[in-house]
Structures are given as structure tokens and as C-alpha cells.
Structure 1
Amino acid sequence: MRSTGAKLLILLTAIGLLLGAASCVDRTRAARKPAVPQSISQGQGREPRLKVFIKETGEIKEMGLEEYVTNVVAGEMKNFFPENALAAQAILARTFVLQFVTTKKRSSLNPDAHISTDFEEAQAWNPQNVNARVRRAVKRTRGEVATFNGNYINAWFFSHAGGITATAKEGLNFKEAEPPYIKVVKSPDAPEAPDEFANWRAEFTKQEVAAALAKLGQQPGSIDSIKVLDRGPSGRATRMQIGNAVVMAPDFRVALDSVKMKSTLLTSARVEGDRVILAGKGFGHGVGMSQWGAFTLAKRNRSPEDIIRYYFRDVDVVKLY
């Protein structure tokens, strides 16, 4: 006969197995797969195929989703980045295109294509930068996408966070409700990043600033002052006054020059003579994954999936095929 202690051990083991099974069911339910858009679906468990408008040549090319993702990763991230960072970029690139086709259906540049290689419409594209490291990163994450409650997320990413990421409303002037998976988090942006990403300074003429404001339907009058009126949770400027004009900072950055005005994480803004001088930290809108932060996390041996979860709250990374 078994001792009382042995019976108790068997009972506890059985309970543990039952709880473990229940936990697995819950995780499976939480991580349900989103639907692949019917216009590009290739059947259960098969890689979707895309019609891509190649802006550079004007042709439409049909290709597997993984080929598209490979060329996007090479366009959006330096091919010398750690493989896990490139793999995290691949997950977001794959998520982006499937979310794009789900919501927009077709490219605005060519309605016969699902998406284009125009980075202003979709994502950067650079087949020439594809190397073995990029290919391995994409292959490792084949079919993986980031989801929230079974839907593709807005797979936002950018270059450098300046130490902290932003909400969608402050970083992008996002018009819809703040996505629950977007969070403000400290970003370990790599010291290997160019110095002008961590701390930048840019000068503009008053005429350039006035032209940018005109694009936003604003007339500033005499541009004798510039100041930040409001900041968001990460400290980024959300609303600015320039002369008599009041504008949303993310919109002003895009209208002015988002390469020179690298972010809205401003540390100073002033007018000197005929010049408007801005300084700040980071490069990009600040929402979602920082690429230079992913660089550091990958160096710390964080997995691609862990990098995604670091920057996005409560998301699941699921394998579609």
C-alpha cells in the first residue's frame, strides 16, 4: 500500500498537470491567429503571395511574403545589426504588410498591387542590402507576426528613442484611440548609434519654417518666438507655438523636415536672427520598437520575440505558417 505521503504527492502531481493543461488552453486562446487577408491567402498553412508595385521600375512583381519581408528588413535596418534585432524587425515587417492589406486592401500607388516599395506608403525596400545575416533572421521567424487579441498590431518602429519611447498620440498625433499595446518604456539605445541620433541640433531659416506652417494651413505672422506648449508622457512635444501659429509637433516635424528635425523630444527651441534653432534627442516618431534599442537587447541575448514584447505591451507573437 502507498503511504499517505506518496498518495499526497500523486494527488498534487495530478492537480499540477490539470492546472498546467488549463494554463496551456488559456495561452492558446489568448494567442489565437489572425486571419490572413483573403486577397493574398494561399490556403491553410501556406505562405501567402503578394503583388508588389516596384516604384523604382514601375512594374508589379508577384512574390512570396518572405521574399518581400527579406527586402524590407534590408531596407529598414542596417544589415550589420545583430541577428536577433534583424529578426525582430522581420516580425514587425511581416505584421505591417498583413495589417496593411487587411485594412487598406490595395496600394494607393497602383490598385493592381497589394502594396508598394514606396517607404512613404509602406516600408523601405532595398534588395541590394540583403546579406546572409538578413536571410537567416527572416528564416528564423518565418511566418511570425505580432498580434493583440487576435488582430495584427500597428507594427510601428523607428530608429532611436533618445532613451524613452512615446505613446501613439504624442509621437504620431494618432487620431484614433491609443492602442492598448503601445507603452512608454525606457529604451536602451545603443552607444554605437551615430552621435547625432542621441543628441541632435538643426537650424532652419524663418522662410523654411513659414513654408512648413503653410503646408499645415497656418500663418505665423512674424516668427519672433517658438515654444513648446504641451508635452506627452515621454516628454515629447505635442503642441507648439511658432509666432502666432499653434501646431501639433509631430505634424510640424513632418512638414518641416523629419530628417533634420529628427524627433519631437525637444531639449531646446529658439529664434536667433533669421534662424530657428531646434535641438533634441532621438531619431524618429518614438512609437513602438526602437531599432537601436533592439540592437542593445539583441547584444544582451534577448530573443526576437522578447524584443517585440519589450516594446509592445501584452502582445503575442504567433506563427501563421
Structure 2
Amino acid sequence: MAYRLKLGAALLGLLLLSQLFAGCRAPARKPAPAAQEPTISLYVNQTGEVKRMKIEDYLPGVVAAEMEPTWPLNALAAQAILARTFTMKKIAEGGVKAHGTDASTSVEEFQAYDPTRINDNVRRAVEMTRGEVVKYQGDYINAWFYASGGPQTAASAVEGMNFRREPAPYIQSVPDPGMAITTAENKGWTAGFSKAELAAAVRKVTGQDPGPITTVKVAAKGPSGRATQFQVGRSTVDAPALRLALGNDRLRSTLITSITTTGDRVTFKGEGYGHGVGMSQWGAKALAQQGKSPQDIIKYFFKGVELVKAW
């Protein structure tokens, strides 16, 4: 009997303690507040002034400049997500150090910007993707894009741009669905250069004279078929760098189909327009016309990425 009384007293004590501490539970943890939309500083190259604006007010001017504003909404929205991601990554890397600002209106320094082209379609594309960015394993991706990839996009940033500063494992080679709808010039183009122009471009890239230019050929190709090196005379030249030196609007891509030399002229033929790394804009248009979402479009061109609401 004494044993039962002691046991009952112990249980009663535990019950009283449980009731006492039931009223002293730690308060529920509040959810972390959502990140606020950043305010950025924008250097206006045309006037030299610096403007401060919310990033979502800045992005319509970028989307309108980088893509045709009348294109399908979901293509513009995919462009908006990449523009937002590009901006945030560049800011994280220090912005435009030449001006001490987060961004600039120069396409050479940052990305294109033209607020005069903004329409309701562009505004809606930015609004519907508000705060949305692309990350790979928690970090902003390099949000590369270009006009047209030809039949196949580049297999890596090294192949398309000789970009080696950091790994970009989210780049993949896929068929470009925009090949069916892009302009005739992007499907097949021809670019002619004098040997003097070619020699000057080689010297600019390599610092060496190629000597007499009797031979011009693709010396090496990447997995998607893009030239990674050219042989020009006695010089072996990085193909993406030579393209830039010759003018990327003239040598439209490194997806070369033939090179011929006739007298003083060297003629390149090729497909696509741009470096081929990341999202094809014509491909985005084609996928949007098929009813794909902006997120579907981005995941078609970039592998293993996640789309995150940053604010």
C-alpha cells in the first residue's frame, strides 16, 4: 500500500510539472521576413548622370532593349528573369566599377537599356515574374542569352565564349527550337573579309603577325560543332576572340559551315547569331508560341537550375 501511495504522489507531481511548463512554452518562431526589393544606382551613359531606382522599375527598359517588345509574353518574361538574375549577379561582383554604380545603360559595360521601347507587354512580363531569379546550387547563374543558336546551342561557356573565370555546369547543348522561325540571315549567313582585316584581327587577339594568309580554316571544334580555334596563316587563334575582333555583327557566330579564300578575300559561311551559350531568344519565342511557361523556357536551356523568389 505504501508503495502505491508513493507512486501516485510521484505521478501527481509529474502531472503538476507538465501543467506548469505547458504555459511556459517558447513562443512560435516568426517566419523570416521576405527580402526587400533592391534599389540600384544606374549610370546613364548618354548624360553622365546617376539615377537611383527600384530594380523592378529598371528591368522593363532592359527587356524592351534586349528583346522585341511585341514578342510573346512568356518569351519576354523569360528574358525578364534572366535580366534580373544578370543584374543581381553583376551587383554581387561589384557592379560597374568604372562609374562606381550598380549598373549602366551601356551594353558593353552592363546590358542594353532603352526605356523608349517599353510597352504594356514588357511591363506585364516584368510584373508577372517580380523578384524571380535563377540560381544553381544557391548561387546566381551567369544568365547568358543570344539571338539564335542555329540548329544546336553551345555545349559549354568554354566552347561558345572561351569563358573560364568560373565553372558553369548549368550550360547544356540542346536543339534550338527557334531555328524553324528565325530570320533567313540567322539560318545561313555569309561574311567576307579582306586578308588585311583578318591579319589585323589576329594581331589584336594574339599580339602576333600571322604572316602570309594562304590558309584559313577551323582548327578545332567543340561538341556542338562550333569553332573553338581558327588557323589563320601561321597563327592559331581563339575563335570566339577572333569573332569579336572582326565584329560580332559581321562574323555572326562560330558555327561555321565553310571558309573559302579567293584572291584577297576570305569568306565565312555559318549558322546562328551570337555565342550560343544559354538561352536562344528566337528559341524562347518558339517555345512561348508552343505554350511553354517562362520557367519552362529557362529550364529548357539551363540544366539543374532553380527559379527562386528573391523578393
TM-score (norm 1): 0.84
Identity of aligned residues (%): 48
Amino acid at match of 1:275: R
Q: 1:135 aligns with which of 109, 123, 127?
A: 123
Q: 1:221 aligns with which of 211, 214, 223?
A: 211
Alignment partner of 1:176 is 2:187: no
Q: Is the 8 A contact 1:267 1:279 kept in 2?
A: yes
Alignment partner of 1:189 is 2:178: yes
Structure 2: tracts of 5 or more residues without a match: 1-32
CA distance in 2, matches of 1:52, 1:176: 25
CA deviations 1:242-278 (Å, max 9, x no partner) are 0111101000000111001000000011211111100
Aligned to 2:256: 266
- The residue correspondences of 1:299-318 to structure 2 (distance < 5 A) are 299-318=289-308
SS of equivalent residue, structure 1 residue 202: strand
Q: 1:144 aligns with which of 110, 114, 132?
A: 132
Aligned to 1:206: 195
Whose Rg is larger?
2
Alignment partner of 1:162 is 2:150: yes
CA distance in 2, matches of 1:223, 1:127: 46
SS of equivalent residue, structure 2 residue 284: helix
Deviation at 1:177, TM superposition (A): 5.1
CA distance in 1, matches of 2:74, 2:160: 26
SS of equivalent residue, structure 2 residue 36: coil
Aligned to 1:89: 79
Amino acid at match of 1:185: V
Amino acid at match of 1:159: A
- The residue correspondences of 1:23-62 to structure 2 (distance < 5 A) are 44-62=34-52
* Range with bigger deviation, 91-100 or 191-200: 191-200
CA deviations 1:194-222 (Å, max 9, x no partner) are 21111110111111111111111131111
CA distance in 2, matches of 1:178, 1:195: 34
Deviation at 1:190, TM superposition (A): 4.9
Alignment partner of 1:230 is 2:203: no
SS of equivalent residue, structure 1 residue 189: helix
CA distance in 2, matches of 1:265, 1:309: 23
Structure 1 stretches of 4+ moved >3 Å:
none
Aligned to 2:240: 250
Q: Is the 8 A contact 1:50 1:114 kept in 2?
A: yes
Aligned to 1:29: none
Aligned to 1:108: 97
SS of equivalent residue, structure 2 residue 160: helix
Structure 1: tracts of 5 or more residues without a match: 1-42
Deviation at 1:45, TM superposition (A): 2.9
TM-score (norm 2): 0.87
Aligned to 1:279: 269
CA deviations 1:76-133 (Å, max 9, x no partner) are 0011111000000000000001000111x1313301x111111112111111111010
Residues paired across the two proteins, number: 277
SS of equivalent residue, structure 2 residue 173: coil
Aligned-residue Cα RMSD (Å) equals: 1.2
SS of equivalent residue, structure 1 residue 294: helix
Q: Is the 8 A contact 1:267 1:281 kept in 2?
A: yes
